[in-house]
Chains A and B, each alone.
Chain A
Amino acid sequence: MAVLSVDDLTVAYGDHTVFSNLSFTINSGDFLVVVGENGVGKTTLVKALLGLIKPKEGTINIPKDTRLGYVPQFRNLDEEYPLSIRDFVALNSRQSRWPWLTKKERHRLDRIIRITDLTKIAGRPLGLASGGEKQRAYLAQALLTNPRLLILDESTASLDNEMKYSLLDLVARFQEDGLSVMFITHDWDLAQRYGTRYLHMQADGYTAGSINELAAIVKGEEEC
């Protein structure tokens, strides 16, 4: 079952066309890795999927019941950012509209904080957390709504190898419960390790397919 399908999508900033005629589908349980050089339009694609920019042409189809979770590439939180990790994660609670969290919401919050291994540091201000802790908090916030499709924009870029693996292992665990993932990365090794499908964006077009085919592209790049 498709959780997202993109058909003939063209996105432009004014006169500047970022990419054109892009088509692909993400099915339930897929782990799609999106690769491509800096500036090729990966983040722009995500913004279009999230409805933050209007496509010039083409359609984006997301079933009504598909909730999206998004871990953005950049967040402007400084050292003095006051909220605790727990309160930051809780910002995304949406089951009720009361000013306080309901019992159900608190349960869900505690569970996500436990799964993302943040329990011990949940009371500390997010501004003082390390890069890896921050990424886990961002992930926890995105997972709080129990999304069907999780979009990660270079969420592992600032992490050491061990942290990269533990973060993606965590995501992969949710994948078993039917979560689909769209993971943007420059790390071909991670792409092949976790991906089931790939989308390779290039200045003059794109290729997409199952992850095995990515190996051939990697080889091609190495030869150049």
Chain B
Amino acid sequence: MLSLAFMRHAFVASNFIAIVSGVIGVFVVARQLSFLTHTLSEIGFAGASFAVFAGWAPLDGMILFTMLSSVLVGQMSIKESRREAVISAVSGLFIGLGILFLSLSSQTASSATSILFGSVVGISASEVHQLIILSAVVLAITVLIYRQLKFSSFDEVGAQVSGFNQTVISVVFLLLLALSVSVAAQIVGSLLIFILLTIPAASAKYFTHGVAKMMGLAILFSLLGTWAGLLLGYLTNWPVSFFIAVIEVIIYVIALLYQNFIEAN
């Protein structure tokens, strides 16, 4: 199947997506930002539809919209008590905008499905390059702020007195998250993006108790899902994102069962 150019592209892209989502996902779960990640993916949908409407590449629209809004939404929803309401309102608005832009553009149906559900067929070599560069940027920044990010994600209270500015870290992380959402959307689509950005990391934390190991496992779980998803999608002609979602959920269920098993012993 790798003799087909688009499958090769999809395969390379999915490896980078898996690495980025594994690394960023561990922090998403620790910072309890799963819900915000949903919102960002909906914002990404609006951005991609805007891009289709304006005649740009969908990825550019996604990056523009998610980067512009991530900090805003993140700061608005810092107060836990009103997080849900704020996020629901923002989600609603952006889904609405996404639908509007799609209906205004001429090529509605096919581009809508590929934005929402992802598409392996469409990935060109230049898109793969763009995706690799974006992934490298996300990973490089993560390495630069790794210690601070880790401290503030896994012990907010302790990090308060460690002498670095937590607001800066949280803003930078939201921007990284926005980029990761745009990257991951290329294969799984904006509707299912949170799958790769939350479930592998959420599963990993039941198996291991160190940050680096959780990242390793989360990457592995993402890779399993994307590889098997691509293969099964190729064989059956069913959507790749469907298989990825099912596989990640199965891994999560196994993680929960494992946790129960450990507790029972």
Contact = CB atoms under 8 A, between A and B. Distances in A.
B211 A87 contact: yes
B214 interface: yes
B161 interface: yes
B138 to A, nearest CB: 14
A42 B206 CA distance: 38
Contacts of B8: none
A87 B205 contact: no
Interface of A: 50, 52, 68, 70, 72, 74-77, 80, 82-84, 87-88, 91-94, 97, 99-100, 123-125, 138, 141-142
A99 B141 CA distance: 12
Contacts of A70: 158, 161
A91 B151 contact: yes
Nearest to A138: B158
B208 to A, nearest CB: 8
Contacts of A75: 155, 157-158
A23 to B, nearest CB: 23
B162 interface: yes
Interface residue range, chain B:
20 to 34
Nearest to A91: B151
Closest 4 CB pairs of A and B: A84-B209, A82-B205, A99-B146, A70-B161
Most buried by B among A52, A93, A94: A94
Contacts of B208: 82
Given A97-B147, A99-B143, A91 B157 contact: no
A84 B160 contact: no
Contact of B162 (A72, A84, A92): A92
Contacts of B158: 70, 72, 75, 91-92, 138, 141-142
A203 B157 CA distance: 27
Contact of A50 (B151, B155, B160): B160
Given A91-B150, A97-B147, A99-B147, A74 B157 contact: yes
